[in-house]
Amino acid sequence: METRPLGPFAVSVIGLGCNNFGRRLDRAQTAAVVGAALEAGITFFDTADVYGDGASEEYLGAALGARRDTVVVATKFGMDMPTGSGASASWIERAAEDSLRRLGTDHIDLYQMHRPDPATPIEETLDALGRLVAAGKVRVVGCSNVTAEGIEASLAASGTGARPAWVSVQNQYSVLHRQPEDDGVLRACTERGLRLLPFFPLASGVLTGKYHPGEPAPQGSRLAGLPLERSSRFLNDASLGAVSRLTAFAEERGHTLLELAFGYLLSSPAVPSVIAGATGPAQIAANVAAPGWRLSDDDIVQVRALA
């Protein structure tokens, strides 16, 4: 599989989002998905302490086992856990140790602040992360759910002492949710040499083509299990209308909607890997087979108009 740079690492252009582990998938199912991902050439695994209240990290670490050092493992801190939250120095130290223990590893490749913490100065957060880097417990650091202004402020703060600088930003980004293109985040990443990691790249499955206007969400699908107020963020007349138009556009060119969804994101040099979740080996196979379409500039203009 093609790889792209992410900090000091080369990662597969399709990564595996691990938010299903410990939630929709048990330990054995997680092992099957991770095994399929490794066999398919996926080398980037993205999890968080909050996924399954730690179960995702635990299941991922167990599934990787002796293969841990053949891949890049990213996790996150900052969301609400039973024992704490935020980006204070005291919490980061505890959160990192807990993640290392659950993952069964002595280092985290990419440690990400899951969301900004308005109660903690960014300097304190970066100082704490710098100590983890110096101790060899973290290789590089990133952030998530941030604004362009937040990126600039944190990069300014990282320029002194031993404070590390972000190498990546993980924000919601898909062909149906193009906010990073409009709010300056994509431009800031491009200009500052950061990498943009899209989450919800398939709009919670809407861009797989399995949802259709006037039909209920398929039983067992991610959106079928969500309350209406949450699923309607993705499953609504506007998004389904866009999906119909995009599907026709892709099929006229001999491609699938899934290929369009991945190809659109990977058309940006700032995007090193598209982190897609999976609940079984079949989804892994479909995801890995999809990123072959390199959209032209004209394709991208047309896709934006249709979406």
Catalytic residues: 51
Angle between helix axes 55-64 and 27-39 (nearest 10 degrees) is: 50
Q: CA-CA distance, 215 to 276, in Å (whole number)?
A: 24
One-letter amino acid for residue 215 of the chain: E
For 83-117, the DSSP string reads TB-SS-HHHHHHHHHHHHHHHT-S-EEEEEESS--
Instruction: Strands of the chain (E only): list them.
Output: 3-6, 9-12, 14-17, 44-46, 72-77, 108-113, 138-144, 166-172, 195-199, 274-277
Asked whether the beta carbons of 20 and 279 are under 8 A apart, the reply is yes
Residue with tokens 């999906």: 243
Dihedrals phi, psi of 72, to nearest 5 degrees: -105, 120
One-letter amino acid for residue 244 of the chain: S
Structure tokens at 115: 């969301």
**Cα–Cα distances in Å, from 132 out to 89, 113, 169?**
11, 13, 19
One-letter amino acid for residue 176 of the chain: L
